Protein backbone atom coordinates (compact mmCIF):
# COMPACT_ATOMS: atom_id res chain seq x y z
CA UNK A 1 0.00 0.00 0.00
CA UNK A 2 1.19 3.45 -0.63
CA UNK A 3 0.29 6.71 0.93
CA UNK A 4 -0.38 8.32 -2.44
CA UNK A 5 -2.74 5.71 -3.65
CA UNK A 6 -4.04 4.25 -0.47
CA UNK A 7 -5.83 1.02 -0.49
CA UNK A 8 -9.30 0.78 0.76
CA UNK A 9 -8.33 -0.26 4.22
CA UNK A 10 -5.90 2.53 4.67
CA UNK A 11 -8.24 5.00 3.09
CA UNK A 12 -10.91 4.07 5.56
CA UNK A 13 -8.52 4.26 8.38
CA UNK A 14 -7.31 7.65 7.38
CA UNK A 15 -10.86 8.84 7.12
CA UNK A 16 -11.35 7.59 10.60
CA UNK A 17 -14.12 5.19 9.91
CA UNK A 18 -12.19 2.07 10.69
CA UNK A 19 -10.14 0.87 13.55
CA UNK A 20 -6.39 0.70 13.47
CA UNK A 21 -4.28 -2.32 12.71
CA UNK A 22 -4.55 -5.19 15.04
CA UNK A 23 -2.41 -5.53 18.07
CA UNK A 24 0.91 -7.05 17.21
CA UNK A 25 1.13 -10.72 17.65
CA UNK A 26 3.65 -11.58 20.17
CA UNK A 27 5.45 -14.66 21.09
CA UNK A 28 3.51 -15.92 24.02
CA UNK A 29 0.71 -14.44 26.02
CA UNK A 30 0.16 -10.73 25.92
CA UNK A 31 0.70 -9.37 29.40
CA UNK A 32 -1.56 -7.03 31.20
CA UNK A 33 -3.70 -5.07 28.86
CA UNK A 34 -1.67 -6.05 25.82
CA UNK A 35 0.85 -3.28 25.99
CA UNK A 36 3.44 -5.00 28.12
CA UNK A 37 5.41 -6.72 25.44
CA UNK A 38 8.57 -8.59 26.22
CA UNK A 39 9.99 -8.49 22.75
CA UNK A 40 11.99 -5.28 22.45
CA UNK A 41 11.67 -5.28 18.71
CA UNK A 42 7.99 -4.75 19.00
CA UNK A 43 6.72 -1.32 19.91
CA UNK A 44 3.85 -1.40 22.27
CA UNK A 45 0.66 0.11 20.98
CA UNK A 46 0.10 3.47 22.48
CA UNK A 47 -3.65 3.24 22.19
CA UNK A 48 -5.47 0.05 22.88
CA UNK A 49 -8.41 -1.58 21.21
CA UNK A 50 -7.50 -0.40 17.75
CA UNK A 51 -9.11 2.90 18.05
CA UNK A 52 -9.75 4.87 14.94
CA UNK A 53 -9.36 8.57 14.76
CA UNK A 54 -13.06 9.09 15.16
CA UNK A 55 -13.22 6.88 18.19
CA UNK A 56 -10.41 8.75 19.85
CA UNK A 57 -12.17 12.02 19.27
CA UNK A 58 -15.48 10.67 20.47
CA UNK A 59 -14.06 9.23 23.63
CA UNK A 60 -12.06 12.23 24.68
CA UNK A 61 -14.66 14.77 23.72
CA UNK A 62 -17.19 12.57 25.41
CA UNK A 63 -15.60 13.34 28.75
CA UNK A 64 -16.71 16.92 28.36
CA UNK A 65 -19.89 16.34 26.44
CA UNK A 66 -21.48 13.48 28.28
CA UNK A 67 -22.65 13.64 31.82
CA UNK A 68 -19.80 12.93 34.19
CA UNK A 69 -20.03 10.03 36.56
CA UNK A 70 -21.98 10.40 39.75
CA UNK A 71 -18.74 10.89 41.66
CA UNK A 72 -17.81 14.10 39.97
CA UNK A 73 -20.17 16.64 41.44
CA UNK A 74 -19.74 15.59 45.07
CA UNK A 75 -15.99 15.55 44.56
CA UNK A 76 -15.96 19.04 43.15
CA UNK A 77 -18.19 20.36 45.89
CA UNK A 78 -16.03 18.77 48.55
CA UNK A 79 -12.85 20.15 47.07
CA UNK A 80 -14.41 23.54 46.60
CA UNK A 81 -15.39 23.71 50.23
CA UNK A 82 -11.90 22.71 51.27
CA UNK A 83 -10.56 25.32 48.89
CA UNK A 84 -12.82 27.82 50.59
CA UNK A 85 -10.68 27.43 53.65
CA UNK A 86 -7.85 29.07 51.80
CA UNK A 87 -9.24 32.59 51.45
CA UNK A 88 -10.43 32.47 55.04
CA UNK A 89 -6.98 31.58 56.31
CA UNK A 90 -5.34 34.12 54.06
CA UNK A 91 -7.73 36.79 55.16
CA UNK A 92 -7.07 36.05 58.80
CA UNK A 93 -3.35 36.05 58.15
CA UNK A 94 -3.29 39.36 56.33
CA UNK A 95 -5.55 41.10 58.80
CA UNK A 96 -3.85 39.86 61.93
CA UNK A 97 -0.25 39.26 61.05
CA UNK A 98 2.29 36.61 60.19
CA UNK A 99 2.28 35.62 63.84
CA UNK A 100 -0.80 33.48 63.31
CA UNK A 101 1.59 30.98 61.85
CA UNK A 102 4.01 29.19 64.14
CA UNK A 103 7.08 31.08 62.99
CA UNK A 104 9.57 32.73 65.28
CA UNK A 105 12.83 34.63 65.08
CA UNK A 106 14.83 31.47 64.59
CA UNK A 107 12.59 29.61 62.18
CA UNK A 108 11.34 32.38 59.95
CA UNK A 109 10.18 30.12 57.18
CA UNK A 110 8.37 26.89 57.74
CA UNK A 111 5.17 25.67 56.17
CA UNK A 112 4.84 28.70 53.95
CA UNK A 113 7.98 28.15 51.94
CA UNK A 114 7.73 24.37 52.27
CA UNK A 115 4.38 24.56 50.54
CA UNK A 116 5.69 26.97 47.95
CA UNK A 117 8.57 24.71 46.97
CA UNK A 118 6.36 21.64 47.16
CA UNK A 119 3.83 23.04 44.72
CA UNK A 120 6.28 24.58 42.33
CA UNK A 121 8.31 21.38 42.29
CA UNK A 122 5.25 19.29 41.59
CA UNK A 123 4.60 21.32 38.53
CA UNK A 124 7.86 20.49 36.89
CA UNK A 125 6.88 17.05 35.77
CA UNK A 126 4.22 18.46 33.51
CA UNK A 127 6.66 20.68 31.75
CA UNK A 128 9.13 17.87 31.43
CA UNK A 129 6.54 15.59 29.90
CA UNK A 130 5.33 18.24 27.52
CA UNK A 131 8.53 19.86 26.52
CA UNK A 132 11.47 17.62 27.13
CA UNK A 133 9.81 14.41 26.08
CA UNK A 134 8.53 16.20 23.00
CA UNK A 135 12.03 17.15 22.04
CA UNK A 136 13.15 13.61 22.72
CA UNK A 137 10.31 12.42 20.48
CA UNK A 138 8.82 10.15 23.06
CA UNK A 139 5.43 9.51 21.62
CA UNK A 140 4.05 7.91 24.73
CA UNK A 141 3.88 11.33 26.31
CA UNK A 142 0.71 12.09 24.40
CA UNK A 143 -1.36 10.15 26.88
CA UNK A 144 -0.31 12.29 29.82
CA UNK A 145 0.91 15.58 28.50
CA UNK A 146 -2.33 17.51 28.59
CA UNK A 147 -3.24 16.48 32.12
CA UNK A 148 0.32 16.91 33.30
CA UNK A 149 0.50 20.42 31.92
CA UNK A 150 -2.81 21.21 33.52
CA UNK A 151 -1.43 19.93 36.78
CA UNK A 152 1.55 22.21 36.29
CA UNK A 153 -0.62 25.24 35.81
CA UNK A 154 -2.69 24.51 38.87
CA UNK A 155 0.38 23.70 40.93
CA UNK A 156 1.97 26.97 39.92
CA UNK A 157 -1.20 28.79 40.93
CA UNK A 158 -1.08 27.17 44.35
CA UNK A 159 2.63 27.80 44.59
CA UNK A 160 2.38 31.44 43.70
CA UNK A 161 -0.01 32.09 46.54
CA UNK A 162 2.52 31.32 49.22
CA UNK A 163 5.32 33.78 48.49
CA UNK A 164 2.65 36.40 48.08
CA UNK A 165 1.04 35.85 51.44
CA UNK A 166 4.07 34.92 53.51
CA UNK A 167 5.47 38.45 53.44
CA UNK A 168 4.83 40.59 56.45
CA UNK A 169 3.26 43.38 54.47
CA UNK A 170 1.37 41.83 51.61
CA UNK A 171 0.08 45.17 50.42
CA UNK A 172 3.62 46.16 49.55
CA UNK A 173 4.46 42.98 47.69
CA UNK A 174 4.61 45.05 44.55
CA UNK A 175 7.97 46.34 45.80
CA UNK A 176 9.35 43.11 44.42
CA UNK A 177 8.75 44.19 40.86
CA UNK A 178 11.12 46.52 39.06
CA UNK A 179 8.59 49.19 38.28
CA UNK A 180 9.20 52.91 38.58
CA UNK A 181 8.32 54.27 41.99
CA UNK A 182 8.63 57.51 43.84
CA UNK A 183 11.38 56.18 46.05
CA UNK A 184 13.60 55.76 43.01
CA UNK A 185 14.73 52.43 44.24
CA UNK A 186 15.09 49.19 42.41
CA UNK A 187 14.64 45.81 44.01
CA UNK A 188 17.79 43.96 44.93
CA UNK A 189 18.87 41.86 41.98
CA UNK A 190 21.38 40.02 44.10
CA UNK A 191 18.63 38.38 46.06
CA UNK A 192 17.49 34.88 45.19
CA UNK A 193 13.97 35.78 46.19
CA UNK A 194 13.89 38.26 43.39
CA UNK A 195 15.25 35.69 40.98
CA UNK A 196 12.35 33.56 42.15
CA UNK A 197 9.93 36.28 41.20
CA UNK A 198 11.24 36.31 37.67
CA UNK A 199 11.69 32.57 37.39
CA UNK A 200 8.30 31.61 38.69
CA UNK A 201 6.46 34.25 36.71
CA UNK A 202 8.31 33.24 33.56
CA UNK A 203 7.52 29.65 34.26
CA UNK A 204 3.86 30.40 34.86
CA UNK A 205 3.58 32.46 31.71
CA UNK A 206 5.35 30.00 29.46
CA UNK A 207 3.53 27.00 30.89
CA UNK A 208 0.21 28.70 30.47
CA UNK A 209 0.99 29.64 26.89
CA UNK A 210 2.23 26.19 26.10
CA UNK A 211 -0.78 24.50 27.62
CA UNK A 212 -3.28 26.83 26.05
CA UNK A 213 -1.71 26.87 22.65
CA UNK A 214 -1.46 23.11 22.63
CA UNK A 215 -5.13 22.89 23.44
CA UNK A 216 -6.34 25.08 20.61
CA UNK A 217 -6.91 22.32 18.04
CA UNK A 218 -8.74 20.25 20.63
CA UNK A 219 -10.85 23.17 21.74
CA UNK A 220 -11.68 23.72 18.09
CA UNK A 221 -12.74 20.09 17.87
CA UNK A 222 -15.07 20.57 20.77
CA UNK A 223 -16.36 23.74 19.22
CA UNK A 224 -17.01 22.08 15.90
CA UNK A 225 -18.77 19.14 17.44
CA UNK A 226 -21.03 21.42 19.38
CA UNK A 227 -21.56 23.48 16.32
CA UNK A 228 -22.49 20.45 14.26
CA UNK A 229 -24.94 19.35 16.84
CA UNK A 230 -26.47 22.79 16.76
CA UNK A 231 -26.72 22.74 13.01
CA UNK A 232 -28.14 19.25 12.90
CA UNK A 233 -30.56 20.04 15.65
CA UNK A 234 -29.25 17.34 17.95
CA UNK A 235 -27.97 19.68 20.58
CA UNK A 236 -28.44 19.30 24.29
CA UNK A 237 -31.67 20.49 25.79
CA UNK A 238 -32.00 24.09 26.76
CA UNK A 239 -31.40 25.00 30.35
CA UNK A 240 -34.58 25.51 32.32
CA UNK A 241 -36.00 28.98 31.79
CA UNK A 242 -33.19 29.93 29.44
CA UNK A 243 -33.21 30.10 25.67
CA UNK A 244 -29.95 28.20 25.29
CA UNK A 245 -28.45 24.92 26.32
CA UNK A 246 -25.03 23.59 27.08
CA UNK A 247 -24.15 23.09 23.43
CA UNK A 248 -24.68 26.77 22.82
CA UNK A 249 -22.34 27.52 25.64
CA UNK A 250 -19.86 25.03 24.30
CA UNK A 251 -19.96 26.41 20.82
CA UNK A 252 -19.52 29.91 22.08
CA UNK A 253 -17.04 29.22 24.85
CA UNK A 254 -14.83 26.81 23.01
CA UNK A 255 -15.19 29.01 19.99
CA UNK A 256 -13.71 31.97 21.75
CA UNK A 257 -10.97 29.87 23.21
CA UNK A 258 -10.01 28.24 19.95
CA UNK A 259 -9.43 31.63 18.36
CA UNK A 260 -10.67 30.80 14.92
CA UNK A 261 -8.75 27.60 14.35
CA UNK A 262 -9.69 26.25 10.96
CA UNK A 263 -7.72 23.04 10.81
CA UNK A 264 -6.05 24.35 7.71
CA UNK A 265 -2.60 23.25 6.77
CA UNK A 266 -1.30 26.72 7.33
CA UNK A 267 -2.59 26.64 10.86
CA UNK A 268 -1.10 23.27 11.45
CA UNK A 269 2.32 24.31 10.20
CA UNK A 270 2.34 27.33 12.46
CA UNK A 271 0.99 25.30 15.31
CA UNK A 272 3.75 22.73 15.02
CA UNK A 273 6.39 25.42 14.81
CA UNK A 274 5.04 27.30 17.76
CA UNK A 275 4.71 24.09 19.71
CA UNK A 276 8.34 23.23 19.11
CA UNK A 277 9.43 26.73 20.00
CA UNK A 278 7.54 26.69 23.24
CA UNK A 279 8.83 23.22 23.97
CA UNK A 280 12.31 24.53 23.39
CA UNK A 281 11.72 27.46 25.73
CA UNK A 282 10.15 25.29 28.38
CA UNK A 283 12.95 22.75 28.38
CA UNK A 284 15.56 24.97 30.03
CA UNK A 285 12.85 26.26 32.32
CA UNK A 286 12.41 22.81 33.81
CA UNK A 287 16.03 22.90 34.87
CA UNK A 288 16.37 26.56 35.65
CA UNK A 289 13.22 27.35 37.60
CA UNK A 290 13.75 24.85 40.31
CA UNK A 291 17.46 25.57 40.37
CA UNK A 292 16.59 29.17 41.10
CA UNK A 293 14.16 28.09 43.77
CA UNK A 294 16.96 26.02 45.26
CA UNK A 295 19.13 29.14 45.29
CA UNK A 296 16.80 30.53 47.92
CA UNK A 297 18.59 28.10 50.15
CA UNK A 298 21.90 27.39 48.50
CA UNK A 299 23.06 31.00 48.40
CA UNK A 300 22.48 31.54 52.09
CA UNK A 301 25.00 30.89 54.85
CA UNK A 302 22.74 28.61 56.87
CA UNK A 303 24.39 25.26 57.62
CA UNK A 304 22.33 22.62 55.88
CA UNK A 305 21.33 25.05 53.16
CA UNK A 306 24.65 26.16 51.85
CA UNK A 307 25.47 23.29 49.52
CA UNK A 308 26.10 23.27 45.81
CA UNK A 309 24.20 20.05 45.33
CA UNK A 310 20.90 21.84 45.75
CA UNK A 311 20.17 22.82 42.15
CA UNK A 312 20.42 19.31 40.63
CA UNK A 313 18.96 17.79 43.77
CA UNK A 314 15.94 20.04 43.67
CA UNK A 315 15.38 19.55 39.96
CA UNK A 316 15.57 15.78 40.27
CA UNK A 317 13.29 15.94 43.28
CA UNK A 318 10.84 18.11 41.44
CA UNK A 319 10.58 15.70 38.55
CA UNK A 320 10.31 12.82 40.98
CA UNK A 321 7.57 14.42 43.01
CA UNK A 322 5.81 15.77 39.98
CA UNK A 323 5.54 12.43 38.25
CA UNK A 324 4.18 10.98 41.42
CA UNK A 325 1.58 13.67 41.65
CA UNK A 326 0.53 13.32 38.02
CA UNK A 327 -0.12 9.67 38.55
CA UNK A 328 -1.74 10.27 41.89
CA UNK A 329 -4.35 12.15 39.91
CA UNK A 330 -4.54 10.07 36.77
CA UNK A 331 -4.72 6.57 38.19
CA UNK A 332 -8.09 7.23 39.81
CA UNK A 333 -9.13 8.88 36.56
CA UNK A 334 -8.27 5.65 34.80
CA UNK A 335 -10.85 3.94 36.92
CA UNK A 336 -13.44 6.63 36.96
CA UNK A 337 -13.59 7.65 33.33
CA UNK A 338 -14.77 5.28 30.61
CA UNK A 339 -12.13 4.08 28.18
CA UNK A 340 -9.41 6.01 29.95
CA UNK A 341 -7.38 2.83 30.15
CA UNK A 342 -7.15 2.66 26.39
CA UNK A 343 -5.09 5.81 26.36
CA UNK A 344 -3.24 5.60 29.62
CA UNK A 345 -2.10 2.03 29.30
CA UNK A 346 -0.03 -0.09 31.59
CA UNK A 347 2.91 0.58 29.34
CA UNK A 348 2.62 4.25 30.10
CA UNK A 349 2.48 3.46 33.77
CA UNK A 350 5.49 1.25 33.48
CA UNK A 351 7.50 3.90 31.70
CA UNK A 352 6.61 6.49 34.25
CA UNK A 353 7.44 4.09 37.04
CA UNK A 354 10.89 3.76 35.59
CA UNK A 355 11.26 7.52 35.55
CA UNK A 356 10.14 7.69 39.15
CA UNK A 357 12.65 5.01 40.04
CA UNK A 358 15.49 6.82 38.30
CA UNK A 359 14.75 10.22 39.74
CA UNK A 360 14.15 8.65 43.11
CA UNK A 361 17.58 7.19 43.03
CA UNK A 362 19.01 10.55 42.04
CA UNK A 363 17.28 12.07 45.02
CA UNK A 364 18.54 9.31 47.28
CA UNK A 365 22.02 9.85 45.97
CA UNK A 366 21.72 13.55 46.66
CA UNK A 367 20.67 12.85 50.26
CA UNK A 368 23.66 10.67 50.83
CA UNK A 369 26.04 13.05 49.12
CA UNK A 370 24.85 15.96 51.21
CA UNK A 371 25.56 14.02 54.33
CA UNK A 372 28.84 12.65 53.08
CA UNK A 373 30.18 16.03 52.05
CA UNK A 374 29.08 17.54 55.33
CA UNK A 375 31.30 15.02 57.04
CA UNK A 376 34.10 14.96 54.49
CA UNK A 377 34.26 18.73 54.28
CA UNK A 378 35.14 18.93 57.93
CA UNK A 379 32.68 21.68 58.65
CA UNK A 380 31.38 21.04 62.14
CA UNK A 381 28.37 23.26 61.70
CA UNK A 382 27.32 21.57 58.50
CA UNK A 383 27.86 18.14 59.97
CA UNK A 384 25.81 19.03 62.99
CA UNK A 385 23.05 20.14 60.66
CA UNK A 386 22.77 16.49 59.78
CA UNK A 387 23.59 14.70 62.97
CA UNK A 388 22.00 17.05 65.39
CA UNK A 389 19.23 18.53 63.34
CA UNK A 390 18.10 15.57 61.32
CA UNK A 391 19.51 12.14 61.71
CA UNK A 392 20.23 11.25 65.27
CA UNK A 393 17.07 10.62 67.29
CA UNK A 394 18.95 11.36 70.48
CA UNK A 395 19.85 14.83 69.35
CA UNK A 396 17.41 15.89 66.71
CA UNK A 397 13.84 16.72 67.67
CA UNK A 398 12.77 16.48 64.04
CA UNK A 399 14.38 13.13 63.41
CA UNK A 400 11.01 11.64 62.57
CA UNK A 401 10.57 14.05 59.67
CA UNK A 402 13.95 13.14 58.24
CA UNK A 403 13.41 9.44 58.47
CA UNK A 404 9.90 9.74 57.07
CA UNK A 405 11.41 11.54 54.14
CA UNK A 406 14.03 8.84 53.64
CA UNK A 407 11.46 6.08 53.84
CA UNK A 408 8.96 7.71 51.52
CA UNK A 409 11.42 8.95 48.92
CA UNK A 410 14.19 6.41 48.90
CA UNK A 411 12.69 3.16 50.13
CA UNK A 412 9.17 3.06 48.69
CA UNK A 413 10.05 3.62 45.01
CA UNK A 414 12.38 0.64 45.13
CA UNK A 415 9.38 -1.62 44.59
CA UNK A 416 9.49 -0.44 41.03
CA UNK A 417 12.43 -2.68 40.37
CA UNK A 418 9.87 -5.42 40.06
CA UNK A 419 7.80 -5.46 36.93
CA UNK A 420 4.77 -6.75 38.69
CA UNK A 421 4.84 -3.69 40.91
CA UNK A 422 5.47 -1.28 38.09
CA UNK A 423 2.46 -2.45 36.20
CA UNK A 424 0.06 -2.64 39.09
CA UNK A 425 -1.91 0.58 39.26
CA UNK A 426 -2.88 0.18 42.90
CA UNK A 427 0.70 -0.30 44.01
CA UNK A 428 1.67 2.60 41.83
CA UNK A 429 -0.89 4.84 43.44
CA UNK A 430 0.23 3.92 46.92
CA UNK A 431 3.86 4.56 46.06
CA UNK A 432 2.89 7.83 44.40
CA UNK A 433 1.06 8.91 47.54
CA UNK A 434 4.08 8.09 49.67
CA UNK A 435 6.38 9.92 47.31
CA UNK A 436 4.18 13.00 47.27
CA UNK A 437 4.13 13.08 51.05
CA UNK A 438 7.82 12.33 51.16
CA UNK A 439 8.58 15.27 48.91
CA UNK A 440 6.64 17.56 51.22
CA UNK A 441 8.68 16.22 54.08
CA UNK A 442 11.87 16.78 52.14
CA UNK A 443 11.18 20.49 51.85
CA UNK A 444 10.08 20.61 55.48
CA UNK A 445 13.31 18.91 56.53
CA UNK A 446 15.42 21.22 54.44
CA UNK A 447 13.77 24.37 55.71
CA UNK A 448 12.76 23.79 59.28
CA UNK A 449 15.41 21.41 60.51
CA UNK A 450 18.17 23.58 59.15
CA UNK A 451 16.75 26.74 60.61
CA UNK A 452 15.71 25.65 64.05
CA UNK A 453 19.29 25.04 65.08
CA UNK A 454 21.60 27.54 63.54
CA UNK A 455 25.06 28.80 64.22
CA UNK A 456 24.62 30.07 67.76
CA UNK A 457 23.04 27.61 70.18
CA UNK A 458 21.74 30.44 72.30
CA UNK A 459 19.05 31.13 69.77
CA UNK A 460 17.92 27.61 68.99
CA UNK A 461 14.16 27.33 69.04
CA UNK A 462 11.59 24.80 67.98
CA UNK A 463 8.89 25.34 65.45
CA UNK A 464 5.34 24.11 65.92
CA UNK A 465 2.71 24.64 63.25
CA UNK A 466 -0.52 26.34 64.10
CA UNK A 467 -3.96 25.55 62.78
CA UNK A 468 -3.64 28.43 60.37
CA UNK A 469 -0.50 26.89 58.89
CA UNK A 470 -2.26 23.61 58.41
CA UNK A 471 -5.45 25.21 57.18
CA UNK A 472 -3.66 27.22 54.55
CA UNK A 473 -1.94 24.15 53.19
CA UNK A 474 -5.07 22.05 53.22
CA UNK A 475 -6.90 24.85 51.49
CA UNK A 476 -4.31 24.95 48.76
CA UNK A 477 -4.69 21.21 48.27
CA UNK A 478 -8.42 21.75 47.94
CA UNK A 479 -7.88 24.49 45.41
CA UNK A 480 -5.59 22.30 43.37
CA UNK A 481 -7.95 19.36 43.33
CA UNK A 482 -10.92 21.52 42.55
CA UNK A 483 -9.16 23.05 39.58
CA UNK A 484 -8.07 19.66 38.35
CA UNK A 485 -11.56 18.23 38.62
CA UNK A 486 -12.93 21.16 36.69
CA UNK A 487 -10.27 20.59 34.08
CA UNK A 488 -11.29 16.95 33.77
CA UNK A 489 -14.85 17.97 33.12
CA UNK A 490 -14.57 21.00 30.91
CA UNK A 491 -11.35 20.76 28.95
CA UNK A 492 -9.94 18.06 26.72
CA UNK A 493 -8.15 15.68 29.04
CA UNK A 494 -5.98 14.21 26.35
CA UNK A 495 -4.20 15.95 23.56
CA UNK A 496 -6.52 14.64 20.89
CA UNK A 497 -4.56 15.89 17.96
CA UNK A 498 -1.27 14.61 19.28
CA UNK A 499 -2.77 11.32 20.29
CA UNK A 500 -4.11 10.76 16.85
CA UNK A 501 -0.73 11.62 15.41
CA UNK A 502 0.89 8.70 17.19
CA UNK A 503 -1.69 6.17 16.18
CA UNK A 504 -0.30 3.64 13.77
CA UNK A 505 -2.63 4.66 11.00
CA UNK A 506 -1.33 8.17 11.19
CA UNK A 507 2.13 7.24 10.20
CA UNK A 508 2.98 8.77 6.79
CA UNK A 509 5.46 6.04 5.99
CA UNK A 510 3.88 3.04 4.35
CA UNK A 511 6.79 0.81 5.17
CA UNK A 512 7.04 2.02 8.65
CA UNK A 513 4.68 -0.29 10.39
CA UNK A 514 4.03 1.33 13.70
CA UNK A 515 3.24 -1.77 15.60
CA UNK A 516 1.72 -3.27 12.56
CA UNK A 517 3.57 -6.21 11.22
CA UNK A 518 1.15 -6.66 8.46
CA UNK A 519 0.20 -10.06 9.73
CA UNK A 520 -3.43 -9.37 9.11
CA UNK A 521 -2.98 -7.08 6.24
CA UNK A 522 -3.77 -8.96 3.09
CA UNK A 523 -2.77 -6.27 0.66
CA UNK A 524 0.66 -6.93 -0.78
CA UNK A 525 3.32 -4.33 -0.65
CA UNK A 526 3.33 -2.15 -3.74
CA UNK A 527 6.16 -0.18 -5.14
CA UNK A 528 4.62 3.17 -5.95
CA UNK A 529 7.12 4.36 -8.52
CA UNK A 530 7.29 1.20 -10.50
CA UNK A 531 3.57 0.80 -10.17
CA UNK A 532 3.10 4.22 -11.65
CA UNK A 533 5.43 3.32 -14.47
CA UNK A 534 3.26 0.47 -15.16
CA UNK A 535 5.76 -2.19 -14.21
CA UNK A 536 3.94 -4.80 -12.23
Partner 1 sequence: MSTPVARFPRPAWPWSRSTARRWNCPRGSAPACPTARSRSNSVTAGPRRGRSPPAFVARGATCERGRGRYQIVSTQNHWSLEGRETIIREADKPAWDKYGDELKVKPDPIYGEPVISLNFAERLGELSHTPENRSIYDNPYNTSPDAPDAETLTKDHLGRPIPPQFSRGPQWGMTIDMSTCTGCGVCTIACQAENNIPVVGKREVAKGREMHWIRVDRYFLGDDLDHPEGLAYQPIACVHCENAPCEVVCPVNATVHDDEGLNAMVYNRCIGTRYCSNNCPYKVRRFNFFDYSQAKFKAGSPLTEAVGVEIPNENFIPPRLRKKLDEIQKMKMNPDVTVRGRGVMEKCTYCVQRINRARYELKLQDISPADMPDGFFQAACQQACPSQSIAFGNILDETSKVAEARKNGRSFGLLNYINTRPRTNHLLRVRNPNPKLRKPYDEPFHHGKHDDHGEGHGDDHGSDHGDSHGGDHGSDHGSDHGSDHGETHGAATKRRTLKLPVLGEVATVPTAQDLLMKHATGGLA
518 Cβ neighbours under 8 A, 6+ residues apart:
none
Interface residue with partner 1 among 372, 407, 417, 455 (CB under 8 A) is 455
CA distances 455 to 106, 303, 448, Å, are 11, 8, 14
Supply the DSSP string of 142-210, one letter for each residue.
GGTHHHHHHHHHHHHHHHHHHHHHHSS-GGGGGGGS----TT-----TT-HHHHHHHHHHHHHHHHHHH
Beta strand residue intervals within 426-533, DSSP E: none
Interface residue with partner 1 among 28, 40, 457, 524 (CB under 8 A) is 457
**From CA 13, how far away is CA 20, in angstroms rounded?**
7
Pick the piece of the chain touching partner 1 (CB under 8 A) from 89-97, 131-139, 143-151, 216-224: 89-97
Q: Is there binding between residue 176 and partner 1 (CB under 8 A)?
A: yes
Q: Contacts with partner 1 in 348-407 (CB under 8 A)?
A: 375, 378-381, 383-384, 387-388
User: With respect to partner 1, which residue has the nearer C-beta, 19 or 164?
Assistant: 164
Helix axes 310-336, 265-298, angle to 10 degrees: 130
**From CA 454, how far away is CA 57, in angstroms rounded?**
58
Q: Contacts with partner 1 in 460-519 (CB under 8 A)?
A: 460-462, 464, 466
Interface residue with partner 1 among 173, 236, 355, 486 (CB under 8 A) is 173
CA distances 410 to 265, 348, 389, 415, Å, are 48, 22, 20, 10
Q: Is there binding between residue 184 and partner 1 (CB under 8 A)?
A: no
User: With respect to partner 1, which residue has the nearer C-beta, 184 or 241?
Assistant: 184
User: With respect to partner 1, which residue has the nearer C-beta, 79 or 447?
Assistant: 447
The DSSP secondary-structure symbol of 395 reads T
Nearest distance in Å: CB 307, partner 1: 14
Q: Is there binding between residue 197 and partner 1 (CB under 8 A)?
A: yes
Nearest distance in Å: CB 181, partner 1: 10
User: With respect to partner 1, which residue has the nearer C-beta, 98 or 336?
Assistant: 98
3-class DSSP state of 477: helix
**How many residues belong to the site for partner 1 (CB under 8 A)?**
59
Q: Is there binding between residue 535 and partner 1 (CB under 8 A)?
A: no
Q: Is there binding between residue 194 and partner 1 (CB under 8 A)?
A: yes
Interface residue with partner 1 among 69, 87, 91, 99 (CB under 8 A) is 99
Interface residue with partner 1 among 27, 41, 184, 188 (CB under 8 A) is 188
Q: Determine which helix (DSSP H) or strand (DSSP E) holds 514, and give its type and residue range.
A: none
Q: Is there binding between residue 202 and partner 1 (CB under 8 A)?
A: no
Interface residue with partner 1 among 392, 459, 520, 527 (CB under 8 A) is 459
Supply the DSSP string of 67-126, one letter for each residue.
PPPTTHHHHHHHHHHHHHHHHHHHHHHHHH-GGGSS--SS---SHHHHHHHHHHHHTHHH
Name the residues that contact partner 1, by CB under 8 A. Answer: 95-99, 102-109, 166-170, 172-173, 175-176, 183, 185-188, 190-194, 197, 296, 299-302, 375, 378-381, 383-384, 387-388, 451, 454-462, 464, 466
Amino acid sequence: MSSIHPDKVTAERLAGVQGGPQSPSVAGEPIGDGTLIEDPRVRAPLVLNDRSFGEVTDIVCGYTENKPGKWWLPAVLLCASVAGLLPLMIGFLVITGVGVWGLNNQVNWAWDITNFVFWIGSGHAGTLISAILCIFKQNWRTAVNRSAEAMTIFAVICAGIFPGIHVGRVWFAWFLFPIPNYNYIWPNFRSPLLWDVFAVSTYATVSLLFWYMGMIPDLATLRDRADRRLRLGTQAKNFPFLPFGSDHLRAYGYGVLSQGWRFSSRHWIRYETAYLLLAGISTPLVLSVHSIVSFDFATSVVPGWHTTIFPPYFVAGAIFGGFAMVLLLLIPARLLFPNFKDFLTLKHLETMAKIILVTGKMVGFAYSMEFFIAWYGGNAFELYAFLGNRVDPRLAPYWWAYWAMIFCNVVTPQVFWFRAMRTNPMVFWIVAAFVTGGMWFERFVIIVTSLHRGWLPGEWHMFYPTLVDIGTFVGSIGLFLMLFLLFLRFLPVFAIAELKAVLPQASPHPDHHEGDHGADDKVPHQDPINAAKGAH
